[in-house]
């Protein structure tokens, strides 16, 4: 029986009207053509999945060329499942957060064997797919009415319902998830989720929301109470840990030493050797001579900072021209500038060192 067919008690009628208002108004306002994003032109679950993984922590405009290259190389989950990890990481180079790419590959191999899950709960069992990504895929590709809770939706809902508890707490997220699942369109859940994303990007922005242009302002308690600018509340952040490193650019006749990282961040990625701390020239000399590297020239080049989600690296780049070397371990290799670009997926945390090499030439 539909809502329209049965008699509703007053409270239920209020909830129904509210649901109808939010859902209908946001869908009437939504214009997908205003944001011409390649993943909005499809309802293919694999395409939605890849785009959502790339969009985690990365702006849509940055993602577009990566997404298009990735899809050209790996057009289906099966094609991705058959790829080497190194090739996948290479296609991901520059996007950062490489664990996303590894999980995507692992999950594609499961999908190849077991088929693509088509509901929210089962999608969440795949590596790298959390609540938000599962909801986005389930609602857009399979039309399941489940709300995709990201920072945009948390902000919008904390304002719509004047929720003052910190939105990063799981209890608050659960509360918002339940409310949004009550509001979501049963016929166009994917559009509802995408409309909310657009509303968060264009109108209900983190600072100075454009309430007078908002299709939901009549339902919005924060707008009525004049506190939209003050919400959402968040738990105060802990300071990011800082780590200092000396990065060695070891140059032997135009080839540079790179290592496959075995510990810490960026494991299994290729990078330049990092020594803990900001070392003096004498310490670097001692370190290299103990390993039978013979030095011709050494120069301190530049300092840079690389910010991860929970850590900051402060890196000093030191260029060392070598006469000879001994390098027995398999995880080390030598690569010229072109190979560093074309063969090894050097993560963005090491990109400033590549710029130093370019400035040398
Ligand atoms: Fe956000 Fe303002 Fe719209 Fe409320 S009225 S949802 S605060 S933009």
Tell me: cis bond preceding 232? Omega within 30 of 0 counts: yes
Residue nearest to atom 1 of ligand 1 (CA): 204
Query: Please, which pLDDT band fits residue 292 given cuts at 50, 70 and 90?
Result: confident
Instruction: Read off the pLDDT band of 1 (50, 70, 90).
Output: very low
pLDDT at 327: 62
Pocket of ligand 1 contains residue 199 by CB under 6 Å:
no
Mean pLDDT of 52-62: 92
From the list 333, 236, 260, 251, the residue with the least C-alpha distance to 294 is 251
User: CA nearest 103: which of 144, 61, 54, 154?
Assistant: 54
Residue 328 pLDDT grade (very low, low, confident, very high; cuts 50, 70, 90): low
**Rounded average pLDDT over 314-324:** 94
Lowest mean pLDDT among 106-110, 126-130, 197-201, 291-295: 291-295
Q: How far does the centroid of ligand 1 lie from the alpha carbon of residue 337, in Å?
A: 51
Mean pLDDT across the stretch 274-280? 96
pLDDT, greater one: 31 or 5: 31
User: What atom in ligand 1 is closest to the CA of residue 209?
Assistant: 8
Residue 167 Cβ < 6 Å to ligand 1? no
* pLDDT computed for residue 135 by the predictor: 98
Cα of 202 from ligand 1 centre, angstroms: 11
**Cα(195)–Cα(154) distance, integer angstroms:** 14
CA distances, 124 to each of 119, 156, 230, 340 (Å):
9, 24, 33, 36
Determine contact, residues 244/255, Cβ cutoff 8 Å: no
**C-alpha of residue 205 to centroid of ligand 1, in Å:** 9
Q: In terms of pTM, does the model score above 0.85? A: no
Ligand 1: does its nearest atom lie under 6 Å from the Cβ of 211? yes
Regarding the beta carbon of 223 and ligand 1, being less than 6 Å apart is answered yes
pLDDT value at residue 312: 96
Ligand 1 centre from 300 Cα, in Å?
52
76-99 as b/e: b if 16+ CB within 10 A:
ebeebbebeeeebbbbbbebbbbe
> Is the predicted pLDDT of residue 6 greater than 80, yes or no?
no
Looking at residue 119, the DSSP 8-state letter turns out to be S
Bridge partners for 323 per DSSP: none
CB 147 within 8 A of CB 177: yes
pLDDT of 2 > 50? The answer is no
Query: Residue 45's closest CA among 79, 78, 77?
Result: 77
- pLDDT above 90 for 69: yes
Residue 189 in contact with ligand 1 by CB distance below 6 A: no
Is a pLDDT exceeding 50 seen at residue 258? yes
Where b means 16+ CB within 10 Å and e means fewer, 299-308 reads eebeebebee
Q: Is the pLDDT of residue 47 over 60?
A: yes
Q: Ligand 1, from 18, 156, 161, 202: best to mutate by most atoms within 8 Å of Cβ?
A: 156
- pLDDT given at position 360: 87
Residue-wise DSSP of 130-197: -HHHHHHHHHHHH--------HHHHHHHHHHTT--S-TTSHHHHHHHHHHHHHHS-SS-HHHHHHHHH
- C-beta 156 within 6 A of ligand 1: yes
Query: What percentage of the chain reaches a pLDDT higher than 70?
Result: 93
| CA-CA-CA-CA torsion sign (15, 196, 187, 133) | negative
Residues 93-126 pLDDT 10s: 889 888 999 999 999 999 999 999 999 999 999 9
d(CA 157, CA 169): 14
Q: For position 113, what pLDDT does the model report?
A: 97
From residue 134, how far is each of 50, 61, 105, 120 by CA, in Å?
12, 22, 16, 5
Q: Which of the residues 12, 33, 43, 52 is marked catalytic? A: 52
Q: Is 263 a catalytic residue?
A: no
Among 179, 222, 225, 232, the mutation site with the greatest number of ligand 1 atoms within 8 A of its Cβ is: 222
Asked if pLDDT for residue 76 goes beyond 50, the answer is yes
What is the chain's mean pLDDT, rounded? 91
CA of 212 to the centre of ligand 1 (A): 8
Of 164, 204, 210, 227, which is best to mutate to test ligand 1, by the most ligand atoms within 8 angstroms of its C-beta?
A: 204
For residue 10, name the pLDDT band (cuts at 50, 70, 90).
very low
- The average pLDDT across 50-62 equals 93
Indicate the top mutation candidate among 18, 26, 200, 228 to test ligand 1's pocket, ranked by most ligand atoms within 8 A of CB: 228
Q: Atom 7, ligand 1: which residue's CA is nearest?
A: 228
**High-pLDDT (> 90) share of the chain, %:** 77
Ligand 1, atom 2: nearest CA belongs to which residue?
A: 211
The distance of Cα 158 from the centroid of its chain, to the nearest Å, equals: 23
């Amino acid at each position: 029986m539909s809502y329209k067919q049965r008699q509703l008690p007053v409270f239920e009628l209020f909830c129904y009207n509210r649901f109808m208002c939010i859902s209908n108004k946001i869908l009437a306002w939504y214009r997908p053509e205003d944001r011409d994003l390649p993943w909005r032109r499809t309802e293919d679950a694999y395409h939605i999945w890849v785009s959502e993984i790339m969009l985690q922590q990365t702006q849509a405009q940055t993602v577009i060329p990566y997404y298009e290259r990735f899809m050209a190389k790996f057009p289906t989950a099966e094609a991705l499942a058959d790829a080497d990890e190194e090739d996948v990481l290479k296609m991901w180079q520059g996007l950062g957060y490489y664990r996303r790419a590894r999980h995507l590959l692992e999950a594609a191999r499961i999908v190849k064997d077991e088929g693509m899950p088509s509901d929210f709960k089962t999608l969440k069992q795949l590596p790298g797919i959390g609540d938000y990504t599962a909801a986005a895929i389930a609602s857009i590709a399979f039309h399941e009415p489940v709300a995709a809770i990201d920072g945009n939706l948390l902000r919008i809902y904390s304002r719509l319902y004047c929720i003052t508890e910190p939105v990063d707490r799981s209890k608050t997220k659960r509360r918002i998830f339940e409310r949004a699942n009550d509001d979501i369109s049963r016929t166009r859940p994917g559009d509802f989720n995408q409309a909310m994303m657009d509303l968060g990007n264009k109108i209900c922005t983190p600072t100075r929301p454009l309430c007078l242009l908002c299709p939901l302002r009549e339902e919005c308690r924060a707008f009525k109470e004049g506190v939209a600018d003050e919400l959402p509340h968040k738990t105060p952040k802990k300071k990011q840990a800082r780590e200092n490193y000396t990065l060695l650019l070891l140059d032997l006749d135009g080839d540079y030493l790179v290592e496959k990282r075995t510990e810490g961040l960026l494991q299994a990625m290729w990078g330049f050797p990092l020594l803990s701390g900001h070392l003096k020239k004498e310490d670097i000399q001692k370190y290299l001579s103990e390993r039978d590297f013979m030095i011709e020239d050494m120069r301190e080049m530049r300092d840079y900072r690389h910010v991860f989600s929970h850590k900051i690296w402060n890196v000093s780049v030191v260029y060392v021209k070598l006469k000879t070397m001994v390098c027995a371990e398999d995880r080390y290799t030598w690569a010229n500038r072109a190979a560093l670009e074309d063969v090894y997926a050097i993560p963005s945390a090491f990109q400033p060192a590549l710029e130093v090499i370019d400035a040398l030439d």
